[in-house]
Chains A and B, each alone.
Chain A
Amino acid sequence: MGILNRLDSRIEQFETGNLMITSVDKLLNYARLSSMWQMFFGLACCAIEMMATSASHYDLDRFGIIPRPSPRHCDIILISGTVTLKMASRIKRLYDQMPEPKYVLSMGSCSNCGGPYWEHGYHVLKGIDRIIPVDVYVPGCPPRPEALLEGLLKVQEKIRTQSIAKQIKKA
Chain B
Amino acid sequence: MPEVRTEEMLINMGPQHPSTHGVLRLFLTLEGEIVKDVRPYIGYLHRCFEKHTEAMTYPQVIPYTDRMDYLNSMSNEWSYVLGLEKLMGIEVPERVEYIRVVMAELQRIASHLVALGTYGNDAGAFTPFLYSFIDREKVLELFEITCGARLLYNYFWVGGLSHDIPANFQSKVKAFIKEFEPNIKMYNDLLSYNKIFIERTANTGILPLDVAINAGATGPILRASGLKYDLRKDEPYSIYHKFDFEIPVAEQEVGTVGDSWNRYMVRIKEMVQSLRIIEQAIDNIPEGDVSSAVPKRVKPPVGEIYSRTETPKGELGYYIISDGSLNPYRVKARSPSFVNLSILPKISKGHMMADLVMILGSLDIVLGCIDR
Residues in chain A within 8 A of chain B (CB atoms): 40-45, 47-49, 51-52, 55-57, 67, 69, 71, 81-82, 84, 86-87, 90, 94, 116-117, 119-124, 141-142, 144
Contacts and interface: CB of A to CB of B under 8 A. Distances in A.
A142 B67 CA distance: 10
A49 B44 CA distance: 19
Interface stretch (B48-56, B97-105, B287-295): B48-56
B114 to A, nearest CB: 7
Nearest to B140: A52
A44 B137 CA distance: 19
Which bucket holds chain B's interface residue count? 35 or more
A71 B18 CA distance: 12
A40 B21 CA distance: 11
Contacts of A47: 22
Interface in B109-164: 114, 117, 129-131, 133-134, 136-137, 140, 150-152
A48 B71 contact: yes
A104 to B, nearest CB: 15
A120 B49 CA distance: 9
A55 B16 contact: no
A141 B140 CA distance: 16
B213 to A, nearest CB: 31
Given A117-B52, A120-B55, A122-B51, A52 B137 contact: yes
Closest A-B pairs by Cβ, 4 of them: A55-B133, A45-B70, A57-B137, A56-B130
A55 B117 CA distance: 10
B306 interface: no
B151 A45 contact: yes
A63 to B, nearest CB: 16
Nearest to A55: B133
B8 to A, nearest CB: 25
B47 A84 contact: yes
Nearest to A117: B47
A84 B46 contact: yes
Given A56-B133, A90-B15, A116-B67, A142 B48 contact: no
Contacts of B133: 51-52, 55-57
